A = this chain, B = another copy of it.
Amino acid sequence: LERVAILGTGLIGGSIGLRLAADPALRTVGWDASSDAAELARSRGAVDEIVGDARAAVAGADLVIAAVPGDALAATFATIAGAVATAAVVTDVASAKVGAVRDGEASFGGRFVGGHPMAGSERHGIAAATPDLFDDASWILTPTSVTSAGAYGRAAALATSVGGRPVAVAPDVHDQLVARLSHLPQLLASVLVDVAASAGDRDALLRLAGGGFRDTTRIAASDPDLWVSILKTNREAVLDSLSSLEQRLSGVRSAIERGDWADVRAGLARARAARVDLFAKADVGGEPMVLAMSIPDRPGVLAEVTTAAGELGANIEDLSIFHSPEGGRGRLELVVTGARAAAALASRLADLGYVVASGPKT
């Protein structure tokens, strides 16, 4: 039996546990800062057993999933560091990755792999957990130059086993992107509600608020504590994205003030094209293709290859490393979805100096 420790049995940890419960080869141990939440997780079947402290939960575990709030990660890692087995893999699920990876690698070195499942709910806690939360969602992994291939493979297998699609992205790129795609929209929705609510009473607002306002402000109803924790851990990237937004807004205001309607129109047209393109039906299907290459036995290769795939949008279904018995070099095999994505990735890897053989998976 493989032993999996789930630290934090809320929406994400609980949903992972509910899905893993179907696998008879695993035994899950849960811990939560709230013993009520832990007990509820056990009674719902999200974990096989619960223990009262985090060190006891990770003792003897092969895989540790830290699903505590992002601003509690550093303290959790410090607590469990001495108790995690030297062969165990540790991963997390926090919404910001630069700090999480820094803290995780400080405690666990190459056995830590940062993770961020792109799934959630306006609801939170174990009561909202569901085994299908991650179905077809991207599960971001953030390997670095120190990440071991075995740890990456185990984290990717976890993502796949709960229904997600693992995608590798560098930690700093991840944080800049989620700041713009998630954290900034959250702040803006709140500020928009505030600006509107200050301008009239509820009934007048309600008469005039159309579907557009309803859509753009829906996320303003999310949990403030959760969001403060997220903003705290991604502070730098959020501030960057805010500055970028403020600069563009001031450009729009100045164009409206000048009456430069051609400029205003160009901005709206550019954004329209980008929005339509972004959510145009993505080409994610296709045949599984194998890419095989010889790799030097040095740190950083795995992160280089997997983040190249992540940036191209190539979906890595499977990844294996075979070490040469003579040492010095090894062989990496990737399974990627679709011939087009495989060709794009092979070309990018060739630019990086790898010699890649590819063909349909048989």
Contacts and interface: CB of A to CB of B under 8 A. Distances in A.
B206 A195 contact: no
A189 B117 CA distance: 25
B219 A311 contact: no
A22 interface: no
Contacts of A169: 204, 207-208
A256 B184 CA distance: 12
B253 A190 contact: no
Interface in A296-349: 310-313
A196 B184 CA distance: 10
Contact of A204 (B120, B197, B201, B310): B310
Interface string A237-250: 01101111110111
Nearest to A196: B180
Interface residues of A, number: 97
Interface stretch (A6-14, A153-161, A210-218): A210-218
Counting chain B CB atoms within 10 Å of each CB, the highest count among A180, A209, A259, A310 belongs to A180
Interface in A185-199: 185-199
B241 A140 contact: no
A271 B261 CA distance: 32
Contact of A205 (B177, B204, B256): B177
A97 to B, nearest CB: 11
Contacts of A189: 212, 216, 271, 275
Contact of A208 (B140, B224, B264): B140
Contact of A274 (B194, B245, B257): B194
A27 interface: no
A257 B239 contact: yes
A278 interface: yes
A219 B216 CA distance: 8
Chain A contact residues: helix, strand, loop or mixed = helix
Contacts of A201: 311, 313
Interface stretch (A79-87, A144-152, A225-233): A225-233
A340 to B, nearest CB: 11
Among A199, A235, A271, A310, which residue has the most Cβ atoms of chain B within 10 A? A271
Interface in A272-299: 272, 274-279, 282
Contacts of A224: 265, 268-269, 272
A245 to B, nearest CB: 5
Contacts of A253: 239, 242-243, 246
24 contacts: A118-B207, A140-B207, A173-B200, A174-B208, A177-B204, A177-B208, A187-B249, A187-B252, A190-B268, A191-B248, A191-B252, A193-B271, A194-B267, A194-B271, A194-B274, A198-B244, A204-B313, A206-B282, A206-B313, A207-B310, A224-B269, A224-B272, A239-B256, A246-B250
